[in-house]
């Protein structure tokens, strides 16, 4: 491949080429009109060649060649030794097949490449368990192991190969090692075996002290033989709570029939004292099932002392209001206040008016102070010209100063009388065009993008939407997402994907918006969609309200409610507006079992009085994060946060191989993915060095010795001709 890099502007290069061509043509005409003979024509060719060399030097052609990077002298193979690798879903256990595959690769590698064989579970080990297999209780912290590899000196390592069944959770933001990472998946993709498992165990992320909450357990049974199917009868499903001494006590019991194959049970529980409480659902082992690892699922919830305040405002009462109110009203941790217009500019207020003055009956608040009473404001779809200037200014200031807002979709809000050209347009996460905007109609499939599956608002929805036909019947043809905005749900059309729900930061606050006015219809379809609809709204309300903690000078907001080993955490620190007499400096430290790690805190560029701290958790355990704010050498505030870092589900909760996750991990790591059923082809390619990266070599054509030699040769030929013809 040749890349041209001219030393002059392209227009000037064209002028030079034209001038050289004209000069050559005029020289040719002059030679042709002169006396006959071979001498003039003999000199013409060297002159043209010399001019061509000069033109090429001006245009600077560069030849680009790709070649494989030279490898180092070893390949590191990590074999998964977690408890799920004991599962015998083939002629031998997964671990036994993984060890056999690693030894096959050793024999196939070139003689100059060595193979180093290690294992991993919650950490990396230099030894391998005996052929009987790993400890059944060994967990999997793949994210933490990848983080540990990134800290190692792998300069002599050519490539890394993971042989694993993938663990039980998807890693959204892995810390990748500095060498090509390939993955060989071990295990069945579909669970067509004798098994009884707890498919899902759902708890609210947070509840308020002294309130009730609901725990939902999904149980699934599958059979690969008639004899096992006959054993699927009634069993006792237990719900247990972890006590302060670490033991488990049963709080609920219920008899269920496994013969139904799919069972959903709901338990009503009472929240205890403040803090984090852990629960688990447990099934007894059924004789003949492939593994009992997935017969238990754990979950945690945080008990708080304050409810989240939500205000729903609309001038057009519709079905969407009823459905949202119903779902948020089911959550005891959310105080819902709704207001809608009845006659003229009088409004009916339903729920908890935290103002308690009756001011909401006169209309939407026109001051920031009144809106600050609410954590989130949900806005129905109605024409923008029905807002008063004072209401618009109050809403903008409310969000800029840390409030959160939700815009529902409608032709009146995005159409000719909608938000384009108004001060509220800046709040929306996408660009919208002025003029009439007719809704697209049809059946548009809805999906959760992979990069946001762990987002607090849509966590757990991807699997639920995959199990049913999740569609919306309308879409607004709004424009593209603004820089920094993030889509949480996409709707597919015949021409591509359109963000269905997206959010963006605005000032210190957040704004979430919809692009469909038929999203509420999920609540009237099948049970799976009704559950997904309710989960989305309750999680969104809690996420927007945020787990924000406040001191005397600063507020603190973490980006997630739960962290697993290897996860990246981010803390946002904001000034509460207290008077400052100097520059504020932060120092932060993360402690685990006496080990201290310094954490850097940096100002957020372009956002006043806001800082962020980023950290990763190397392994599971209980961490203590301590931050100190200093001003003029004096400590003005100290903040502490205890962070339990554990996997979201127990080992073996998902025995099926998640090929999509492992394939994406290999792509991110610059390697390749293969399944054990096709291991011959994969191992052959790996042994031949498919993991070696290609490097691009650039060679300027006119700087090569051949080009310089050719140019000198042309000059010598012209000199010889002139010498022999006596033309000096």
pLDDT over 70 percentage in the chain: 90
If DSSP codes are grouped into helix, strand and coil, which group holds residue 581? coil
Residue 139's H or E segment, with its range, is none
Q: Residue 182: give its domain's CATH number.
A: 3.40.50.410
Q: Provide the pLDDT for residue 271.
A: 84
Tell me whether residue 528 is in a domain: yes
CA proximity to 189, closest of 662, 680, 667, 672: 662
Torsion of CA 518, 523, 529, 534, to 10 degrees: 110
Cβ-proximal residues to 723 (8 Å cutoff; 6+ apart), any chain:
none
Helices 10-33 and 38-59: crossing angle in degrees, nearest 10, is 180
Give the residue-averaged pLDDT of 643-649.
Answer: 86
Q: Residue 558: give its domain's CATH number.
A: 2.60.40.10
| Lowest-confidence segment of 98-112, 297-311, 442-456, 658-672 by average pLDDT | 297-311
Indicate whether 485 and 504 sit together in one domain. yes
Question: For residues 442 and 440, what is the distance between their CA atoms, to the nearest angstrom?
Answer: 7
Give the residue-averaged pLDDT of 490-509.
Answer: 88
Confidence of residue 721 (pLDDT cuts 50, 70, 90): confident
Give the residue-averaged pLDDT of 413-423.
Answer: 71
Contact 383, 404 (CB under 8 A): no
Confidence of residue 411 (pLDDT cuts 50, 70, 90): confident
Helices 94-108 and 679-687: crossing angle in degrees, nearest 10, is 40
Residue 708 has pLDDT above 70, yes or no: yes
Q: Provide the pLDDT for residue 552.
A: 75
Q: Residue 299: give its domain's CATH number.
A: 2.60.40.150
Q: Provide the pLDDT for residue 69.
A: 56
Residue with tokens 């603190």: 556
Q: How many domains does the chain have?
A: 5
Q: Which comes out higher in pLDDT, residue 193 or 696?
A: 193
* 160-183 residue pLDDT tens: 999 999 877 888 889 999 889 999
Furthest-apart CA pair in the chain: how many Å? 115
Tell me whether residue 285 is in a domain: yes
Indicate whether 331 and 420 sit together in one domain. yes
* 32-72 residue pLDDT tens: 776 655 556 666 777 777 778 787 778 788 887 766 555 55
User: β-pairing, 486-493 with 440-447?
Assistant: antiparallel
Q: Provide the pLDDT for residue 54.
A: 80
* DSSP letter for each residue of 164-206: E---SS--SS----SS-EEEEE-S-SS--SSEEEEEEEE--SE
Indicate whether 297 and 277 sit together in one domain. yes
Phi, psi of 544 (to 5 degrees): -65, -40
Tell me whether residue 278 is in a domain: yes
Indicate whether 435 and 378 sit together in one domain. yes
Residue 331 has pLDDT above 90, yes or no: no
Tell me whether residue 650 is in a domain: no
Residue 438 has pLDDT above 80, yes or no: no
Residue 316's H or E segment, with its range, is none
* Last-in-domain residue among 545, 577, 597: 545
Confidence of residue 430 (pLDDT cuts 50, 70, 90): confident
Residue 538 has pLDDT above 60, yes or no: yes
Question: For residues 524 and 445, what is the distance between their CA atoms, to the nearest angstrom?
Answer: 17
Average pLDDT in the chain: 84
Tell me whether residue 235 is in a domain: yes
Confidence of residue 638 (pLDDT cuts 50, 70, 90): very high
Q: Provide the pLDDT for residue 34.
A: 65
If DSSP codes are grouped into helix, strand and coil, which group holds residue 10? helix
* Last-in-domain residue among 545, 575, 608: 545
User: 433, exposed or middle or buried, with CB in 10 Å at 0-12, 13-18, 19+?
Assistant: exposed
Q: Residue 512: give its domain's CATH number.
A: 3.40.50.880
Indicate whether 46 and 107 sit together in one domain. no
Residue 358 has pLDDT above 70, yes or no: no
Give the residue-averaged pLDDT of 340-367.
Answer: 76
Indicate whether 533 and 414 sit together in one domain. yes
Indicate whether 332 and 476 sit together in one domain. yes
What are the C-alpha distances in Å from 640 to residues 493, 542, 588?
48, 22, 10
Tell me whether residue 651 is in a domain: no
Question: For residues 523 and 530, what is the distance between their CA atoms, to the nearest angstrom?
Answer: 4
* Last-in-domain residue among 625, 645, 665: 645
For residue 242, list its beta bridge partners: 248
Cβ-proximal residues to 612 (8 Å cutoff; 6+ apart), any chain:
570, 571, 572, 573, 601, 602, 604
Output the CA torsion sign for 377, 378, 380, 382. positive
Confidence of residue 326 (pLDDT cuts 50, 70, 90): confident
CA proximity to 482, closest of 417, 425, 553: 425
Give the residue-averaged pLDDT of 614-623.
Answer: 92
Confidence of residue 701 (pLDDT cuts 50, 70, 90): confident
Residue 670's H or E segment, with its range, is strand 670-675
User: β-pairing, 584-592 with 621-631?
Assistant: antiparallel
Indicate whether 367 and 478 sit together in one domain. yes
Indicate whether 158 and 266 sit together in one domain. no
Confidence of residue 509 (pLDDT cuts 50, 70, 90): confident
Contact 217, 200 (CB under 8 A): yes
Contact 16, 58 (CB under 8 A): yes
Residue 436 has pLDDT above 60, yes or no: no
Output the CA torsion sign for 381, 385, 388, 389. positive
Q: Provide the pLDDT for residue 726.
A: 67
Indicate whether 626 and 681 sit together in one domain. no
Indicate whether 491 and 573 sit together in one domain. no
Indicate whether 213 and 262 sit together in one domain. yes
Confidence of residue 598 (pLDDT cuts 50, 70, 90): very high
* 238-286 residue pLDDT tens: 999 999 888 999 999 999 999 999 999 999 998 877 778 889 999 999 9
* 188-198 residue pLDDT tens: 877 678 999 99
Tell me whether residue 599 is in a domain: yes
Domain interval for residue 593? 550-645
Claim: this prediction has a pTM higher than 0.75 = no
Tell me whether residue 15 is in a domain: yes
Q: Provide the pLDDT for residue 140.
A: 87
410: which 2 tokens?
A: 């409608």
Question: For residues 673 and 161, what is the distance between their CA atoms, to the nearest angstrom?
Answer: 10
């Amino acid at each position: 491949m040749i890349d041209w890099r001219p030393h002059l502007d392209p227009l000037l290069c064209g002028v030079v080429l034209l001038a050289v061509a004209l000069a050559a043509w005029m020289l040719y005409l002059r030679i042709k009109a002169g006396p006959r003979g071979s001498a003039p024509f003999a000199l013409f060719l060297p002159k043209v060649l010399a001019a061509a060399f000069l033109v090429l030097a001006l245009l600077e052609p560069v030849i680009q060649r790709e070649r494989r990077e030279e490898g180092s002298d070893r390949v590191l193979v990590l074999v998964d030794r977690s408890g799920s690798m004991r599962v015998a879903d083939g002629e031998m256990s997964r671990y036994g097949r993984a060890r056999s595959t690693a030894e096959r690769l050793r024999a196939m590698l070139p003689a100059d490449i060595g193979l180093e064989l290690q294992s991993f579970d919650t950490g990396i080990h230099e030894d391998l368990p005996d052929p009987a297999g790993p400890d059944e209780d060994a967990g999997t912290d793949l994210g933490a192991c990848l983080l540990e590899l990134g800290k190692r000196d792998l300069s002599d390592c050519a490539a890394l190969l993971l042989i694993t069944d993938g663990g039980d959770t998807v890693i959204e933001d892995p810390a990748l090692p500095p060498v090509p990472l390939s993955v060989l998946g071990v295990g069945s993709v579909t669970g067509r075996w004798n098994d009884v498992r707890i498919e899902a165990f759902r708890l609210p992320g947070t509840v308020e002290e002294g309130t009730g909450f609901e725990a939902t357990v999904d149980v699934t049974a599958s059979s690969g033989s008639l004899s096992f199917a006959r054993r699927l009868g009634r069993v006792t499903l237990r719900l247990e709570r972890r006590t302060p001494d670490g033991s488990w006590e049963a709080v609920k019991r219920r008899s269920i029939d496994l013969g139904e194959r799919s069972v959903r049970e709901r338990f009503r529980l009472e929240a205890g004292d403040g803090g984090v409480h852990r629960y688990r659902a447990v099934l007894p082992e059924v004789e003949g099932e492939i593994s009992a690892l997935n017969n238990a699922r754990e979950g945690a919830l945080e008990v708080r002392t304050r409810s989240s305040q939500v205000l729903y405002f609309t001038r057009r009462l519709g079905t969407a209001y009823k459905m949202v109110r119903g779902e948020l009203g089911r959550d005891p941790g959310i105080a819902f206040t709704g207001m809608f217009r009845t006659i003229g500019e009088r409004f009916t207020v339903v729920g908890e008016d935290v103002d308690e003055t009756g001011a909401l009956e006169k209309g939407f608040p026109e001051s920031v102070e009144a809106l600050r009473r609410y954590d989130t404001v949900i806005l129905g779809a109605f024409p923008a010209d029905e807002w008063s200037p004072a209401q618009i200014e109050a809403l903008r200031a409310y969000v800029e100063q840390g409030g959160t807002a939700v815009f529902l979709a409608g032709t009146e809000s995005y159409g000719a009388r909608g938000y384009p050209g108004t001060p509220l347009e800046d709040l929306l996460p996408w660009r919208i065009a002025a003029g009439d905007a007719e809704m697209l109609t049809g059946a548009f499939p809805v999906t959760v993008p992979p990069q946001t599956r762990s987002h607090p608002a849509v966590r757990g929805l991807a699997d639920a939407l995959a199990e049913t036909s999740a569609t919306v019947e309308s879409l607004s043809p709004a424009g593209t997402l603004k820089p920094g905005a993030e889509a949480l749900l996409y709707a597919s059309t015949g021409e591509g994907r359109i963000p269905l729900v997206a959010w963006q930061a605005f000032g210190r606050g957040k704004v979430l918006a919809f692009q469909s006015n038929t999203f509420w219809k999920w609540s009237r379809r099948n049970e799976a969609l009704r559950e997904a609809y309710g989960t989305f709204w309750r999680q969104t309300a809690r996420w927007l309200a945020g787990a924000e903690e406040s001191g005397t000078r600063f507020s603190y907001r973490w980006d997630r409610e739960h962290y697993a080993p290897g996860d990246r955490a981010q803390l946002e620190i904001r000034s509460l507006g207290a008077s400052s007499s100097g520059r504020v400096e932060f120092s932060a430290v993360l402690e685990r079992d006496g080990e201290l790690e310094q954490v850097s805190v940096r100002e957020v560029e372009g956002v006043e009085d806001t800082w962020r701290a980023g950290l990763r958790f190397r392994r599971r355990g209980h961490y203590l994060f301590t931050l100190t704010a200093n001003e003029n050498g004096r400590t003005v505030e100290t903040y502490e946060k205890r962070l339990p870092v554990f996997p979201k589900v127990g080992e073996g909760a998902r025995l099926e191989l998640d090929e999509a996750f492992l394939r994406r991990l290999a792509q991110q790591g610059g390697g390749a993915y293969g399944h054990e059923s096709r291991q011959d082809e994969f191992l052959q390619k790996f042994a031949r060095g498919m993991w070696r990266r290609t490097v691009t070599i650039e060679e300027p054509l006119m700087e090569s010795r051949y080009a310089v030699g050719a140019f000198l040769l042309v000059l010598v030929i012209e000199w010889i001709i002139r010498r022999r013809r006596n033309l000096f």
